Amino acid sequence: MEKIRIGISSCLLGEKVRYDGGHKWDRYITDTLGKYFDWLPVCPEVEYGLPVPRESMHLVGSPDSPRLITTRTGVDYTDGILRWTQKKLKMLEEEDFYGFIFKSRSPSSGIGGVTVYTPSGMPSRKGTGIFGGAFLRHFLLFPVIDDGRLHDPNLRENFIEKVFVYKRWRDLVKYSGSIKDLVTFHTEHKLLILSHSPKHLSALGKLVASTKKLKHEALFSQYSNLLMESLQLLATVKKNTNVLQHITGYFKKYLSPDEKKELLEVIVNYHKGYVPLIVPIVLINHYVRKYDEPYLKRQVYLNPHPVELMLRNHV
């Protein structure tokens, strides 16, 4: 399988670029995700030209537009790092990459919950790093996460699923761009989108049904925005249960009363939190293969990412 390229804060790969000459190597990222992803490392502070080691920095001022200032000597690097950031974002537009894993809480790389100090020295955890915040504003709806959230099973599953969907979408736009393939893409992702947002599934369905009314570019751009917007909303136990119950409808004419009872029991057990999502999914995949159900066997929801990542064993 071709590896998917992901942007990443360099220190998470073990590169010794931190202010103290150290790194923040995350073995889950390199050893597990590294089997499927390859990396586009970015260290804003070093790429801007600061040495290793260097004086530590923090954010000061208003959380919306803080200043990046060294903690001991008070040197203000904000304008320089902002200029570098604008150039870097332009360069990243030219790169083929499908997600970004940021270092959490960094005044340069953080994408949320970064400490900002008021001029009187009071801390608030409402900031984003200078580069991380600018990235979010520039690449709207792009799959992003930080290493802190990556260790939350729900957020991790959501991020990785989003990366795989985004890669398939971008490949469709790049290699085909035909309406026929858009309709196929939509059909195959219906249940996955439903697990995030029934409202978005309905809006996307209407869009796909009105392909003749819209110019090609507008159609693809609107579809892309709605699709990625839907994936911003977490697939909860309640929403997954709704999808699983919806799936049982496709087996009406196939399952014996015993098989149907077993499937419904497994779905209830998932809903109550007794078993993880992987349990009903494995059973459904078994029935899909056994009865060769034509609609379900095309659904990405039943196989959204490599099973070896075991992402649905924990949600």
150 touches 142 (CB < 8 A) = no
Residue 17 makes contact with ligand SF4 by CB under 6 A: yes
Tell me the closest approach of the beta carbon of residue 242 to ligand SF4, in angstroms: 39
**Of the candidate residues 4, 6, 7, 9, the single one contacting ligand SF4 (CB under 6 A):** 9
User: Measuring CA to CA, which residue among 48, 106, 51 is closest to residue 82?
Assistant: 48
Residue 10 makes contact with ligand SF4 by CB under 6 A: yes
Tell me the closest approach of the beta carbon of residue 40 to ligand SF4, in angstroms: 12
Give the whole-angstrom CA distance, residue 167 versus residue 161: 10
Tokens 């009314």 map to which residue?
A: 213
**CB-nearer residue toward ligand SF4: 136 or 277:** 136
Phi and psi based region of residue 49 (left: phi greater than 0; alpha: psi -120 to 50; beta: remaining):
left
Q: Pick out residues in 71-110 that bind ligand SF4 (CB under 6 A).
A: 103, 106, 108-109
Tell me the closest approach of the beta carbon of residue 45 to ligand SF4, in angstroms: 4
Give the whole-angstrom CA distance, residue 269 versus residue 22: 46
Tokens, residue 171: 């490949």
135 touches 86 (CB < 8 A) = no
Give the number of residues written for the chain: 315
**Of the candidate residues 4, 26, 37, 45, the single one contacting ligand SF4 (CB under 6 A):** 45
Residue 196 makes contact with ligand SF4 by CB under 6 A: no
Name the segment binding ligand SF4 (CB under 6 A); options: 10-18, 113-121, 158-166, 260-268.
10-18
Which positions lie near ligand SF4, rule CB under 6 A? 9-11, 17-18, 43-46, 103, 106, 108-109
